[in-house]
Amino acid sequence: MIVKELEKLVQAALFALAKEGVLDAAPVEHIAFEHPEDKKHGDYSANIALVLGEKIGKNPRELAEGIARVFPPAEFLERVEVAGPGFLNFFLSRAYLANELGEILKKKEKYGKGECRGKVIIEYSSPNIAKPFGIGHLRSTIIGQAIYNLYKFLGYACVGINYPGDWGTPHGKILYEVHEVLLKDKSAEEKKDILENLSIEELERLYVQFHKDAASNPALEEVARNWFKKLEDGDKEARMVWEYTKRVSFREFERIYRLLDVSIDHTIGESFFEDKMDEVIRDFQKRGLATESRGALIVSFPNEELSPAMLLKSDGATTYFTRDMANMKYRLKRWKPSLVVIETGVEQNLHFQQVFLASRLVGYAKDEQFAHVYHGLYRSKEGKFSTRKGETIHLEDVLHDAKARAREILDSSEASREFSENEKQEIAGVVGIGAVKYNDLSQHPSGDIVFDWDKMLNLRGNSAPYLQYTYARCQSILRKSNLAGPSYSHLNGVKDVNEEEMGVLRLLYRFPEVVEDAARRFSPNMVCSFAFSVAQAYNLFYNTHRVLEAETKEIANFRLALTKATAQIIKNCLFLLGIQAPEKM
């Protein structure tokens, strides 16, 4: 990436000043760059002279002028300027921008792609069984998939893990309801028939009913805990019901993943670790990390850095923490990653702080890095959605509504006449689901999102449909050019680049940098912002200048190159976000 080359040159300039005696030593490990909003301030800007000047007691402006004076020559730079109290502004050469345009056309979907950079585990989606996919499940699923795509694109060997909740007290509630409402006093044959016809909707209804009943009869909570204990102890009926609820749930999950175009490498539920938790408990006991407290077994953290975590409840039942420790031991041993990323809701932040620290204390983790990427919640205007109260908005309903609204917009447009019925259905699906995904991914993961149909399904402005339309527009122009697979290898006419063309050029080369930053910060929204900026810049250019009917053949070829590269970058961004780019729209 060019920003890394730029950093090396600034470091070289600082070394040169150190040799002159202007600085006592070559001073900094990392130099921060930013892209100025005002194009007059260059393509990159750095405040290193201000930071360093304050640190060593030298005039920042004079220090910046010294850096500019000894700055090594570079073909990719047109000039270096000093501005204000000591900012350094760097202007990329037109030759470099033209060269990057050629690299995009040459490498296509591989532009900016890395290779051989270590192994990363990314855990995401992880819905609870016995519930339909609600709108709340959308965030972890698509944010996690986007993070997976980013790291894989950068060259990491990625292991995607879906860790569904198929164990624990909540399943005791379902077991109780199924037993009491559906199976009680039924013959073995009748029970089998009922279980084989279970639906995800029926399981959700029973779950909601349990909480309605428990509101007036709190003793039911203890009954549910006893049913989960039965499951742990191998009770025949509990096991049978649980197996059927898993089967129904996983079938539902796969159907929704297909609608979302999401694919996860491994599905390993909590129950997988049922026979691995005794070993975990012994590990903590051997290291003197487990102590009894009121009949339970807990893990206390040094210096009370975190609140204690529970390994065993007072009734001997395991906990979410116990299972996650078994999970962590298993995955670190099996895959030996350099980084483990877990994407869940913000309410689990403390839990994963405990899991990460405990993994180091008990010896499961050594040099591995951990990251908990937590997302905010979808909320109604009245507050948080609750499956317990039956307020869940089903994700499938959202996706179908999105496709229907996209179809309405398509049918009302003049372009509708150009498409067959099958094409209309396909475009509506790509646009509608893309709109839902982008609405989420374009916002920082940690923020809450108020569920608003009109805002969520808005197909105009900063949205996936806007990017998809820009891509389709570029493809239409290229088809009309009658040039099959043009390479534009010489990029003739680049010496006469106008302001709008430069506006596009000065964005396209940033793609590898944006991907790197988005992955490092676990922020797919950075890719959205970049793609939107590219689309805006191209549409400004397109609305100002002719492409196919340009003044000369050389200028037309250059503008076609710009069009093709823009389409490629937008498509690359959409791919990373898990959104399709339609050829026609």
Q: Supply the CATH number for residue 69's domain.
A: 3.30.1360.70
Whether 289 and 422 map to the same domain: the answer is no
Q: Could you say which residues of the chain have pLDDT below 70?
A: 25-27, 380-392, 451-460, 483-495
Closest to 317 in 3D by CA, of 287, 296, 301, 343: 296
Asked if the structure places residue 189 within a domain, the reply is yes
- Domain end, chosen from 92, 123, 150, is at 92
Quote the radius of gyration of the chain (alpha carbons, Å): 29
Whether 436 and 558 map to the same domain: the answer is yes
- Cβ-in-10-Å burial (0-12, 13-18, 19+) of 527 comes to buried
Whether 522 and 484 have beta carbons less than 8 Å apart is answered as no
Q: What pairs with residue 115 in β-bridges?
A: none
CB-side neighbour CA atoms (13 Å) of 282: 5
Whether 501 and 368 map to the same domain: the answer is no
pLDDT at 156: 98
Asked if the structure places residue 389 within a domain, the reply is no
Give the full edge-to-edge strand order of the sheet including 44-46: 44-46, 87-92, 77-83
Asked if the structure places residue 433 within a domain, the reply is yes
Asked if the structure places residue 105 within a domain, the reply is no
Dist. CA 145–CA 152, nearest whole Å: 10
- Taking the alpha carbons at both ends of the chain, their separation in whole angstroms is 34
Name the E strands within 440-502: 449-450
CA 565 to chain centre: 25
pLDDT at 333: 97
CATH of the domain at 170: 3.40.50.620
pLDDT at 385: 54
Dist. CA 356–CA 281, nearest whole Å: 16
Whether 567 and 449 map to the same domain: the answer is yes
Whether 370 and 412 map to the same domain: the answer is no
Dist. CA 511–CA 35, nearest whole Å: 13
Dist. CA 49–CA 477, nearest whole Å: 46
Closest to 163 in 3D by CA, of 126, 137, 118: 126
- Residue 84's region, left for phi above 0, alpha for psi from -120 to 50, else beta, is left
Dist. CA 326–CA 381, nearest whole Å: 39
Find the length of the chain: 585
Asked if the structure places residue 22 within a domain, the reply is yes
Asked if the structure places residue 104 within a domain, the reply is no
Whether 446 and 529 map to the same domain: the answer is yes
Dist. CA 321–CA 344, nearest whole Å: 15
84: helix, coil or strand?
coil
Whether 160 and 185 have beta carbons less than 8 Å apart is answered as no
User: Is the four-CA dihedral 255, 259, 265, 266 of positive or negative sign?
Assistant: negative
- Domain end, chosen from 380, 409, 434, is at 380
Whether 362 and 289 have beta carbons less than 8 Å apart is answered as yes
Q: What pairs with residue 34 in β-bridges?
A: 45
548: helix, coil or strand?
coil
Whether 427 and 307 map to the same domain: the answer is no
Whether 449 and 368 map to the same domain: the answer is no
Whether 219 and 362 map to the same domain: the answer is yes
The vertex-501 CA angle with 497 and 503, nearest 5°, equals: 120
- The owner of tokens 């009913």 is 209
11: amino acid identity, one letter:
Q
pLDDT at 493: 44
- Token code pair at residue 490: 């010489």
357: domain range?
136-380
523: helix, coil or strand?
coil
CB atoms within 10 A of CB 491: 20
- Domain end, chosen from 380, 407, 431, is at 380
Number of domains within the chain = 3
Asked if the structure places residue 432 within a domain, the reply is yes
Dist. CA 231–CA 250, nearest whole Å: 19
Q: Which pTM was predicted?
A: 0.93
Whether 375 and 399 map to the same domain: the answer is no
CATH of the domain at 474: 1.10.730.10
Whether 48 and 197 map to the same domain: the answer is no
- Token code pair at residue 156: 């990491």
Asked if the structure places residue 47 within a domain, the reply is yes
Whether 497 and 411 map to the same domain: the answer is yes
- Token code pair at residue 157: 């060997």
